[in-house]
Amino acid sequence: MNNVLYTRTSGQGADLILLHGLFGQGTNLRSVARALEADFRVHCLDLPDHGRSPWLTEASLATYAAAVRDWMEHHELPAAHILGHSMGGKVAMELALTEAGRVRKLVVADMAPVTYAEKHQAILDALQLVANQVCQTRTEAEALLGEVIDDPGVVSYLLMSLERGVTSEAYKWRFNLAGLASAYGRLCKAPTESEPFQGYTLFLKGSESAYIQASHEREIQRRFPCSQLVTVNRAGHWLHIDQPEQFSGAVRAFLLSDAGYTWGP
């Protein structure tokens, strides 16, 4: 069995690995890749249990970060810039904190190194509802999700991981729903406690998002002392979708600069 993570690579330049969020896949960040591929060789990975990558017997931030490390070893990539959004941001932080030599510069999009409340049960229930219903059309699945989830943006995001079965006309989730439901509490935890990551780090916060709070800033500073928190204006949690030019511009400027950021206003 091939246990190497599925990836799409484009562009030329320094290597940049993009890590997507929970229930997502690498293609969710293709717009970011397209915006940056003139300056970087960009790798959009499907994390374990997502997209076209293998499923794990136990999912956690540590096992996901280890899978990214193994992917880098398989591709003879000693180190790279890492950008992670949402849960992918936690995986990126886990890798930086436990395998610092693998990470050149780190970008974390709308996520803090803290334990979050488990607040996605409604989404898990909706995903299971679709799985149980054996939907014959995407419209049917969309309607079922809409009965539970009142945010059309979230519904659209989830539908990106819906595919028609190989041996059946029915649609199924591309991600490992049972495994992710079982591991959800672990994925909400803070990254492993370790020595601070001393590399340059950029935290990007959506101005309309509640994922990074003022109360999280001390923990960001403690664990990532060479970091800066920058707000993306008029953006929610999917800040790279809401404000693509502002987002990619901030990332490009940070990664191409000879310097990084130090904590400050």
Tell me: the pLDDT tens digits for 137-153?
999 999 999 999 999 98
Of 103, 113, 63, the C-alpha closest to 82 is 103
Q: Are residues 137 and 112 in the same domain?
A: no
**pTM higher than 0.85, yes or no?**
yes
Place of tokens 């990619």: 248
20 and 58 together in one domain: yes
What the block records as the tokens of 32 is 């970011």
265 falls within a domain: no
CATH, residue 22: 3.40.50.1820
Kindly state whether residues 31 and 81 are assigned to the same domain: yes
The residue from 164, 184, 204 where one domain ends is 184
> Is residue 85 situated within a structural domain?
yes
55 and 105 part of one domain: yes
Residues 129 and 110 in one domain: no
pLDDT of residue 259: 63
Q: How many structural domains does the chain have?
A: 2
**Of all helices (H) and strands (E), which one includes residue 254?**
helix 244-256
pLDDT at 3: 66
- Average pLDDT value for the chain: 94
Same domain, 15 and 106: yes
**250 and 166 within one domain:** no
262 in any annotated domain: no
Residues 11 and 77 in one domain: yes
CA triplet 252, 257, 260: central angle to 5 degrees?
105
pLDDT digits (tens, 9 = 90+) for 33-79: 999 999 999 999 999 999 999 999 999 999 999 999 999 999 999 99
pLDDT at 170: 87
What residues does 19 pair with on adjacent strands?
Answer: 45, 84
pLDDT for position 1: 39
pLDDT confidence of residue 263: 47
> Could you list the residue range(s) of the whole structural domain that residue 165 is in?
121-184
Q: Is 192 exposed, middle or buried (0-12, 13-18, 19+ CB in 10 A)?
A: middle
In a domain, 261, yes or no: no
Q: Do 110 and 132 fall into the same domain?
A: no
Q: Which of 149, 164, 184 is the last residue of a domain?
A: 184
What angle, 0 to 180 degrees and rounded to 10, lies between the N-to-C axes of helices 121-133 and 138-148?
A: 150
In a domain, 212, yes or no: yes
12 plus 143 within the same structural domain:
no
Amino acid at 107: V
Closest CA to 9 of 34, 143, 22, 63: 34
Count H helices and E strands in the chain, helices first: 10, 9
103 and 130 housed in the same domain:
no
Residues 24 and 147 in one domain: no
